[in-house]
Amino acid sequence: MLVYGDHHELAEPLTRAREINRELDSIDKMPRGIGRHARLVGALVKAGKLLQGVADAAFAEAETDGPTPSADALNKFLLELGAAVCRSWDSGFEDVGTIPRLTAADWPTEVELRVPEGFAFYALYPEAYLEAAQRLKLDAPPRVIGIRSIGTSLAAIVAAALGAPPPITVRPFGDPFSREIAVDHLLERDLLAGDAHYVIVDEGPGQSGSSFAAVADWLQERGVPSERIALLPSHDGVPGSAANGERLRWWRSVQREVGDFPDWPALVDRFFTAAIGPLDEPPTDVSGGVWRRFHCPDEKHWPATVPAWERRKFLVRSGGEPFLVKFAGLGRIGEEKLRIAQALHSEGLAPKPVGLVHGFLIERWCDNAAPLGSGEAPIAEIGRYIGARAKLLPATTRSGASIDALLAMIRRNVSLEFGDELARIAAAWEQRAGDLERRIVRVRTDNKLDRHEWLRSKSGALIKADALDHHQAHDLIGCQDLAWDVAGAAVQFDLDQARLGELVGSVEHWAGREVDPALLDFYRIAYLAFRLGHARLGAIMTSDAAEARRISRSGDRYAAELQHLLERTSAATRLDSLVG
């Protein structure tokens, strides 16, 4: 099923380098503390993205990874910046030493920057890799190899923690389950010179572990023994179902240290005392669907959720008040979500945000709020939310999946679920793709209008929970026209034509513009195809049998509605043809 999407942007390296230096100038003037530390890590993440773009541009041109003046300058700078992060972390945010600046280089004119997924979605912290690196047992001087994209920043901080020379980074390519790397003779000579213990750094492993294996295989083919190779992954699991037995045996035998914090509750306590005061009790981890226990004690009525795709979050109490602490993203991504939370709360649409502390957003926990009843459909209020949100939160024209990309997803998911006949019916939209694309006015859509996401506060107000992330999730949808959220609400609340008309009227009133009927018709099919794929893939990824059954049931519902909609579309098309 097609669900995931890569998010990227075009940028001018010279402009980004100047922005990074201005940010470092600002950090130099900040008082000691976690606020300064968080900004420093944000700069490390931003510089790592720049290195990824510069190195990938050189790789695309040469078809191998090798030394270039601009990439070498960035690697050296990132190592120095990583050392400042290490000093800040090890000193309890008291000391950063000398913060480096990025010097001029022969930058490319334009590069493509990718979103480092772990920093954006999965609460992956460079400092956890710092601590993992310090636990390694090395038999020779360390040489660090980062796997792009996220390996640029992670390799820098690992090299700094180990006192290693500037790391190198490589871009695995080829079959996702059988990656390989290409390194030119100059970089190969430098990397293999002298005695070394090689440390490979990335997030994952994923379904096959092939990115880690591509680097390790390259080293072993050149005479490096397995005992001189160490891995720093982001979790302690083994590669997934696409890994063969030999790969799994190798994975279990090689030295590994996991780049994750062993005691998250203690870390949350350390981070947030300064923001909300001493905690009354240890934080409660409500990630992976645990939050459902607080609003729906009866497990039989729990909504489906895919634990692996949920943000890390905690319920904390300070001074008797409850707060939800949820990962929003390191650096600029988290800061942007705080602004979204403030904008939505100012209109009474979402919980009150308290602040942002090193990637975690703090908001008031809706302690006395209740979920909507099974038959409740507050159409006017949902319309106000969708319309007001669209007005508050515009987006850039290139910030979401195109119609062509959505059509590719529809064809793929419909074909896998139903076969080619219904896929051909869905493909009939292709002739209208250009017209539909021109109709889109992109906004930062909610993208998840599920019934369980709505809460009724004690005062009677309707509050949209979890309203900040889904337009920036690790999937292909992104920012769409407001008609996407109308389509989502129609599906989630099972609206008939009359009630859909009421919703459209409410949205148009609050948005100050019309809901495009052609986009709405297309989006209903696209939304169902996406959520069907989401459920089918999620059920495969979930080991808990009861959770997998819940996810599968939700997928069955989306499948039935999508099939009905496609067949009805086909019948209407045939009727038009006969009448014509």
Q: What integer pLDDT is reported at residue 579 of this predicted model?
A: 38
Residues 382, 318 share a domain: no
Residues 578, 511 share a domain: yes
Compute φ and ψ for 198, nearest 5 degrees.
-90, 130
Looking up residue 487, the CATH number of its domain turns out to be 3.90.1200.10
Query: What is the DSSP code string of 403-441?
Result: HHHHHHHHHHHHHHHH-HHHHHHHGGGGGGHHHHHHH--
Q: What integer pLDDT is reported at residue 451 of this predicted model?
A: 94
Under the banding of pLDDT at 50, 70 and 90, the label for residue 574 is very low
- Dist. CA 349–CA 412, nearest whole Å: 36
Q: What integer pLDDT is reported at residue 371 of this predicted model?
A: 87
Residues 535, 478 share a domain: yes
Residues 152, 121 share a domain: yes
Lowest mean pLDDT among 15-19, 165-169, 261-265, 478-482: 261-265
Q: Which residues contact 346 (CB under 8 A, 6 or more apart)?
A: none
Token pair, residue 184, equals: 């030119």
Residues 351, 224 share a domain: no
Under the banding of pLDDT at 50, 70 and 90, the label for residue 240 is confident
Q: What integer pLDDT is reported at residue 422 of this predicted model?
A: 87
Q: Are 162 and 192 in contact (CB under 8 A)?
A: no
Token pair, residue 403, equals: 């119609």
* Residue 3: inside a domain: no
Q: Which residues contact 158 (CB under 8 A, 6 or more apart)?
A: 82, 129, 130, 132, 133, 144, 146, 164, 167, 199, 201, 232
* Residue 285: inside a domain: no
Residues 321, 420 share a domain: no
* Residue 321: inside a domain: yes
* Residue 300: inside a domain: no
Residues 208, 137 share a domain: yes
Residue 257, pLDDT above cutoff 50: yes
Q: Which residues contact 307 (CB under 8 A, 6 or more apart)?
A: 287, 288, 289, 542, 544, 547
* Residue 295: inside a domain: no
- Dist. CA 423–CA 566, nearest whole Å: 9
Residues 564, 500 share a domain: yes
Q: What integer pLDDT is reported at residue 308 of this predicted model?
A: 86
Residue 576, pLDDT above cutoff 50: no
What mean pLDDT value characterizes the chain? 93
Residues 399, 340 share a domain: no
Residues 248, 111 share a domain: yes
Residues of the chain above pLDDT 70, percent = 98
- Dist. CA 187–CA 192, nearest whole Å: 9
* Residue 1: inside a domain: no
- Dist. CA 485–CA 480, nearest whole Å: 8
**What are the tens digits of pLDDT across the range 532-548?**
999 999 999 898 999 99
- Dist. CA 172–CA 177, nearest whole Å: 11
Domain range enclosing 153: 8-256
* Residue 293: inside a domain: no
End-to-end Cα distance, the chain: 37
* Residue 443: inside a domain: yes
Burial class (CB in 10 A: 0-12, 13-18, 19+), 78: buried
Which of residues 338 and 267 earns the better pLDDT score?
Answer: 338
Residues of the chain above pLDDT 90, percent = 82
Total of domains in the chain: 3
- Dist. CA 245–CA 242, nearest whole Å: 10
Under the banding of pLDDT at 50, 70 and 90, the label for residue 421 is confident
Region 320-348: mean pLDDT is 95
Residues 482, 336 share a domain: no
- Which CA distances in Å does 204 have to 123, 151, 212, 260? 13, 11, 9, 11
- Dist. CA 154–CA 78, nearest whole Å: 10
Compute φ and ψ for 324, nearest 5 degrees.
-100, 125
Pick the closest to residue 517 from 432, 447, 580, 579 (CA basis): 432
Strands 197-201 and 142-147: parallel
Over 163-222, what HEC string results? Answer: CCCCCEEECCECCCCCCECCECHHHHHHHHCCCCEEEEECCCCCCCCHHHHHHHHHHHHC
This model's pTM is above 0.85: yes
Please, how many CA atoms are within 13 Å of residue 332, restricted to the half-sphere of its CB? 12
Coil, strand or helix at 113: strand
Residues 380, 342 share a domain: no
Residue 577, pLDDT above cutoff 50: no
